[in-house]
Amino acid sequence: MTSQNDALERTLGQLVADATHDISSIMRSEIALAKAEIGADAKRAGIGAGMLAATGVFAFLALIMLLFAAAYGLVAAGLAPWLSFLIVAGVLLVVGAILALVGKSSLGKLKGKPERTIKNAQDTITAIRPSRPSRPSSE
Model pLDDT for residues 85-99, shown as the tens digit of each residue: 999 999 999 999 999
- The predicted structure's pLDDT at residue 114: 76
- The predicted structure's pLDDT at residue 88: 96
- The predicted structure's pLDDT at residue 70: 96
pTM of the model: 0.53
- The predicted structure's pLDDT at residue 116: 81
What is the distance of C-alpha 39 from the center of its chain? Answer: 16
Positions of the chain with pLDDT under 70: 1-10, 130-139
**Domain boundaries defined on the chain:** 1-59, 79-128
* 8 Å CB contact between 88 and 74: yes
Residues 6+ apart with CB under 8 A from 88: 67, 70, 71, 74
